[in-house]
């Protein structure tokens, strides 16, 4: 424990910790070990993986665009992500940090000072949306904006889109409000994200698609076309990386990636249907039971395989002491599933429905591939897989493995 180094401006004890190449101060209070949400300044040590992946993604993005990057984090907490971006990503010109909390602002200033990045990193003490609104004029926008709140990013998406540079910029967003997004509170999801979830066994993929769909629709209002580059569902949150580029034609094309989810809770049939004005049957084509409808949401590919491969190559070159093994496993799995079909199946759940013992997932995949069904694992769930087989084909294979 160390005392405050800034006199009356920081009124709580501090502890110095290290993450990546950054050594920084966090509150040294009892809540830090039990409930970090209640600490004077927010810092979640469990999100180190999130921050490591953002460093990889921003680095690859910078190398793709071959230009100096201006990075913004409007909800910075203690400033660790932005300071790490400044020190660990090549080609960063400036980093703009902000937090409406005065203790967070003061602590971030101190962390900037001790890491000697004052020439590259700026910090302000304003409401997040107000801060972004002040950077909507041409020549004052950002190449990369990272919205990482506690809860939903929805209140900040409009302002973040307007503060992005109009030429090939990147919006990163985290959502931790998984109960609404996974269908526990569907009205809350519709209110925040403009789409209804369904409480299915693949709800985390639906959550990602709802968040991406929300961003795509908002971006289109400002004539920004979008492309989903990378997503992941990890621990208690989801995360999306979406590239934006100005133009009415591009915005219109992005809207074509929206649609609806059809799911039958009787037999397990599921499908994604493109188009906001799409006509579709309300009866399951498999068992004629009523279909449940989710969305609108993003129905396109969730991963840019090339970006994922370059992130993996970048990770191989870095230390990432605390998370490297996990990151490598995650990226390998994501690269594997990048070309797979949407809407994974949870094998354990299907076996429960069939009242049979769960076989090894490798045996299930082998049988599916022998029948010429494309099949991959998924990072969303270790007991799940993606396959072009329909629900009846998959159930037949599971029953055969029981024999």
Annotate 71-94 with three-state secondary structure.
EEECCCCCCHHHHHHHHHCCCEEE
C-alpha distance across the termini of the chain, in Å? 62
Q: What is the CA angle 253-255-260, rounded to 5?
A: 135
Structure confidence at residue 393 (pLDDT) = 96
Per-position pLDDT tens, the chain of length 403: 454 444 468 888 999 999 999 999 999 877 655 566 678 898 999 999 999 999 999 999 999 999 999 999 999 999 999 999 999 999 999 999 999 999 999 999 999 999 999 999 999 999 999 999 999 999 999 999 999 999 999 999 999 999 999 999 999 999 999 999 999 999 999 999 999 999 999 999 999 999 999 999 999 999 999 999 999 999 999 999 999 999 999 999 999 999 999 999 999 999 999 998 877 788 999 999 999 999 999 999 999 999 999 999 999 999 998 999 999 999 999 999 999 999 999 999 999 999 999 999 999 999 999 999 999 999 999 999 999 999 999 999 999 998 6
State the burial class of residue 224 (Cβ atoms within 10 Å of its Cβ: 0-12, 13-18, 19+).
Answer: buried
> Tokens for 296?
């609108």
Structure confidence at residue 403 (pLDDT) = 62
**What residues does each domain of the chain span?**
47-298, 305-402
Tell me the fold of 47-298: Rossmann fold (3.40.50)
Give the separation between CA 65 and CA 71, rounded to whole angstroms: 14
Beta bridge partners of 385: 345, 377
Structure confidence at residue 7 (pLDDT) = 47
Residue 338 phi, psi dihedral angles, 5° rounding: -60, -35
Select from 185, 172, 27 the least CA-distant residue to 107.
27
What's the pTM? Answer: 0.95
Instruction: Dump pLDDT digits (tens) for 93-136.
Output: 999 999 999 999 999 999 999 999 999 999 999 999 999 999 99
Which of these CATH numbers, 3.40.50.300, 2.40.50.140, 3.30.56.70, 3.40.190.10, describes 305-402? Answer: 3.30.56.70
Q: Where are the alpha helices (DSSP H) in 256-372?
A: 305-317, 324-337, 347-354, 361-370
Angle between helices 80-88 and 48-65 (to 10 degrees): 40
Structure confidence at residue 2 (pLDDT) = 52
Residues 6+ apart with CB under 8 A from 180: 152, 186, 188, 189, 192, 193, 197
Structure confidence at residue 339 (pLDDT) = 95
Select from 277, 307, 300, 291 the least CA-distant residue to 213.
300
Contacts 24+ apart (CB under 8 A), 85-89: 85/54, 85/55, 85/58, 86/117, 86/120, 86/121, 87/20, 87/21, 87/22, 87/115, 87/117, 88/20, 88/21, 88/22, 88/55, 88/59, 89/55, 89/58, 89/59, 89/62
Task: Please determine whether the domains at 47-298 and 305-402 fall in the same fold group of CATH.
Answer: no
Q: Are 278 and 260 in contact (CB under 8 A)?
A: yes
Q: Are 75 and 99 in contact (CB under 8 A)?
A: yes
């Amino acid at each position: 424990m160390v005392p405050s180094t800034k006199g009356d401006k920081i009124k709580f004890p501090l502890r110095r910790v290290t993450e990546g190449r950054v050594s920084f101060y966090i509150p040294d209070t009892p809540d830090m070990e039990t409930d970090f949400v209640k600490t004077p300044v927010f810092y979640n040590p469990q999100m180190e993986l999130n921050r490591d992946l953002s460093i990889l993604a921003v680095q690859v993005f910078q190398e793709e665009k071959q230009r100096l990057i201006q990075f913004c984090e409007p909800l910075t907490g203690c400033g660790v992500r932005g300071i790490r971006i400044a020190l660990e990503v090549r080609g960063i010109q400036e980093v703009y940090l902000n937090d409406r909390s005065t203790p967070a602002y003061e602590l971030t200033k101190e962390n900037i000072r001790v890491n000697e990045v004052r020439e590259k990193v700026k910090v302000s003490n304003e409401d997040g949306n107000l801060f972004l609104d002040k950077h909507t004029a041409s020549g004052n926008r950002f190449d990369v904006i990272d919205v990482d709140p506690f809860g939903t990013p929805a209140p900040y998406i409009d302002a973040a889109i307007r503060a992005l540079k109009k030429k090939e910029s990147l919006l990163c967003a985290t959502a931790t409000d998984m109960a609404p997004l996974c269908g526990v509170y569907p009205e809350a999801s519709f209110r925040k994200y403009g789409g209804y979830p369904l409480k299915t066994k693949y709800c985390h993929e639906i959550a990602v698609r709802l968040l991406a769909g929300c961003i795509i629709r908002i971006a289109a209002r400002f004539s920004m076309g979008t492309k989903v580059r990378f997503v992941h569902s990890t621990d208690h949150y989801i995360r999306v990386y979406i590239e934006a580029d100005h133009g009415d034609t591009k915005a219109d094309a992005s809207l074509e990636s929206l649609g609806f989810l059809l799911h039958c809770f009787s037999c397990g049939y599921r499908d994604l249907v493109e188009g906001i004005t799409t006509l579709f049957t309300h009866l399951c084509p498999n068992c004629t039971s009523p279909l449940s409808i989710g969305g609108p949401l993003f129905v396109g590919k969730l991963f840019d395989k090339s970006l994922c491969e370059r992130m993996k190559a970048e990770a191989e070159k870095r230390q990432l002491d605390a998370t490297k093994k996990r990151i490598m496993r995650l990226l390998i799995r994501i690269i594997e599933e990048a070309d797979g079909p949407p809407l994974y199946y949870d094998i354990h759940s299907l076996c429960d429905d069939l009242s049979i013992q769960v076989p090894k997932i490798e045996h299930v995949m082998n049988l599916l591939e022998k029948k010429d069904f494309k099949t991959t694992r998924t990072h969303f769930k270790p007991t799940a897989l993606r396959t072009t087989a329909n629900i009846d084909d998959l159930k037949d294979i599971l029953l055969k493995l029981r024999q």
